[in-house]
Amino acid sequence: MADEELEAIRRQRMAELQTKHGDPSNDQQGQQESKQRETEMRNSILAQVLDQSARARLSNLALVKPDKAKAVENYLIQMARFGQLGGKITEAGLIEILEKVSQQTEKKTTVKFNRRRVMDSDEEDDD
């Protein structure tokens, strides 16, 4: 599994280098092709790592919160590249990963009251 991923990464890097040093008129087309290859590679890695129900949950999350889904996908791909995954991740495992990512990206909201000091009647009574 790791050899296939490394080969896919090498092919992607070679394509990127060729488009950078290639013809500028084909640059836009090359960018589109590289983006397409990248998404195909991401999808193939996720298909190897996730089972069907976890994949469905992740795609539903992508519809609602695309940023969060992208972060989870990046996390899963990174774990797969470093060989930290034992087998396919089930839906329960994905839920645990989602909770970890939610805790890491949780935003703390604070409310600060700025009260204006308007002419208080108490201050004038001191005369």
Q: Is the pLDDT of residue 16 over 60?
A: yes
pLDDT of residue 25: 52
- Spell out the domain ranges in the chain: 38-104
* 3 state SS for the chain: CHHHHHHHHHHHHHHHHHHHHCCHHHHHHHHHHHHHHHHHHHHHHHHHHECHHHHHHHHHHHHHCHHHHHHHHHHHHHHHHCCCCCCCECHHHHHHHHHHHHHHCCCCCCCCCCCCCCCCHHHHCCC
Looking at the predicted structure, is the pLDDT value of residue 60 above 90?
yes
Q: For the full predicted model, state whether its pTM sits above 0.85.
A: no
CATH code of the domain occupying 38-104: 1.10.8.140
